[in-house]
Structure 1
């Protein structure tokens, strides 16, 4: 007989700093978690009602939220996996097959994941992935360390033209126009706000 490890799912955890902030929230209520990962916290024991209330208050102050609904948890896992893969893995796997990758990581059929995502997020999973990629492209352009050709290759686009078309469609400017734009410093978005 195996004991199930209590877990909490946390919305809006998209980066290593988020993990640190959530870990600190647990420390503030006197609870030491077994592990804190993007979107998920494993605990030694279930939290009391009072501990959950304190935790919810601390999380809310930092822009996080505890999730109870299973479909919402799965939606957040999808988002977290896409964000982590695109924004925090170096080098980015340019040959990634998203359908197989997400199915393998989350242990659900891709059609189910895609349908759930579309129904709950209001855009398709493919559109979400493209939007996250475009945000990463904006970051590369902002820091001006790579050419557009290098960015296209690094992000898995078949050509500069393919990247440029997608970028213009989502952002409204070509990568070159964006680079020249004075407003580019104000056009980056928080990763958890991209939909």
Structure 2
């Protein structure tokens, strides 16, 4: 889940089954009930899949989802980037060694955590460019880039065009956060 609408959709599906969500966060739901019966679990899984979600029961999948959620929340929904590097930040928040998390993520997702972070940051840059409220220096600062040159180089490497060309083209090829 990557937005408020996603959280509401999941809560709605839980309610349809007579379940009571206590806390709904990006990537995690806590329900009042201690356990789901097989029928509820099957229906919930089917209904969530129809909405583009997945019921996670594997520990490894849960950790991957936690990594993604942490990165997405940090980049897209927080005003400030972490004060330390992402590897330390992620390891600290998830209480696991970063090398374990990195290996697990790469094996499961086919890209590194670093590449996932870059892709998310570039999507945030695209969003800010489309809004046209900030200049490139402000966007670089807000998204944690050390300079406009670094942002531009990474943007071009990922998208094939400079931020200026992207903005001037008027053709905004953006991805939903869960597809980045």
TM range (shorter): over 0.9
Q: TM-score, normalised by structure 2?
A: 0.95
- What residue in structure 2 maps to residue 189 of structure 1? 175
- What residue in structure 2 maps to residue 82 of structure 1? 71
Q: Counterparts of 1:123 and 1:158 in 2: how far apart (Å)?
A: 23
Q: Tell me the SS of whatever aligns to 2:146.
A: coil
- What residue in structure 2 maps to residue 165 of structure 1? 153
Q: Tell me the SS of whatever aligns to 2:29.
A: strand
Q: 1:54 aligns with which of 43, 59, 64?
A: 43
Native 8 Å contact 2:123 2:174 kept in 1: yes
**Structure 1 runs (4+) greater than 4 angstroms displaced:** none
Name stretches of at least 5 consecutive residues in structure 2 with no aligned partner.
Answer: none
Q: Counterparts of 1:33 and 1:48 in 2: how far apart (Å)?
A: 16
Q: Counterparts of 1:132 and 1:162 in 2: how far apart (Å)?
A: 16
- What residue in structure 2 maps to residue 8 of structure 1? none
In the comparison of the two structures, how many residue pairs are matched? 179
Q: 2:110 aligns with which of 118, 122, 126?
A: 122
**TM-superposition CA deviations, 1:8-59 (whole Å, max 9, x none):** xxxxx11222111111110111111221111111123201111112211221
Name stretches of at least 5 consecutive residues in structure 1 with no aligned partner.
Answer: 1-12
**Alpha-carbon shift at residue 94 of structure 1 (Å):** 5.8
Q: Counterparts of 1:123 and 1:56 in 2: how far apart (Å)?
A: 26
Native 8 Å contact 1:94 1:153 kept in 2: no
**TM-superposition CA deviations, 1:132-171 (whole Å, max 9, x none):** 0000000000111110111011111111000000000001
- The answer to which structure, 1 or 2, has the higher relative contact order (CA under 8 A, 6+ apart) is 1
Q: Counterparts of 1:55 and 1:122 in 2: how far apart (Å)?
A: 28
- 2:69 is equivalent to residue 69 of structure 1: no
- 2:10 is equivalent to residue 16 of structure 1: no
Root mean square deviation, CA, Å: 1.2
Native 8 Å contact 1:94 1:155 kept in 2: no
Choose 62-71 or 130-139, whichever is displaced more.
62-71
